[in-house]
Amino acid sequence: MVPCNKMELMIVAASRLLEDGKLVTVGTGAPCAATMLAQKRQAPNLVMFFEAGGVAPLLPTMPVSVGDSRTYYKGVMATSMADVMETCQRGLMDYAFLGGAQIDPYGNLNSTHIGGDHAKPKVRLPGSGGACDLASFCWKVITITNHDRRRFVPKLDFLTTPGYLTGPGAREAAGLLPGAGPFRVVTDLAILGYHAQSKRMEVIGLRPGVTLEQVRDQTGFELGVREPLGQTPPPTAEELAILRDQIDPHRYLIGRS
């Protein structure tokens, strides 16, 4: 295994989930790096959408925001947030990367506040932005996050972004797209998915050297296990070289290994 840090591990694992020819909405940071890596390897025709309006750019380097001019570089369209969201609402967006301060067993996310009530929380967070729209209408939602009990909680302090809500049938009852919803959670310890019937989170692959007990210990709710439980392949030398030399050569995101 080529030495790498946790961020590199998560970016590489997330990049492998993306397929050629699909449409994906990305933000800055790890989701953008993962999408760029996928484009440079197995998915050259992956179509990137940025919330501010950049469509299908060929990013020269990582942008610092969704409105960075690089998100339009050699793109097919420089449009608006409204057009990007309409693409999602029409059911055309295959993937979206989302995150939050908390995630629950059904993939619901909180990025609004922690502790207290909504008027006087302990910590005020940025809020939804476009996350609620993306989670409501994109077919597959991927979350990248560090794995610890503060994030993986049995009940959110605030429901910002819908996952499978309260379980089977809840999304459909709320009027959201049937068959869409949370797809994968990529962490520094494991790859997690969702049980087809119960819609609860389950472990589908462990990082090299990580045990199932370690994952459960860092999760604030009971996790299922998909059998046979696999181990995620470590990053290859090629993947790390592309990430370090082409995508983030100044190590703004990935840091030094």
What DSSP letter does each residue of 44-60 carry, written as one string? TT-EEEETTSEES---S
How far apart are alpha carbons 153 and 109 in whole angstroms? Answer: 10
Of 8, 51, 202, 239, which one is the catalytic site residue? 51
- Beta-carbon count within 10 A of 164 CB: 23
Task: Give the β-pairing of 77-78 and 95-98.
Answer: unpaired
Cis peptide before 228 (omega within 30 of 0): yes
**Active-site residue 51, yes or no?**
yes
Q: Residue 34 pairs with which residues in a beta bridge? A: none
Active-site residue numbers?
A: 51
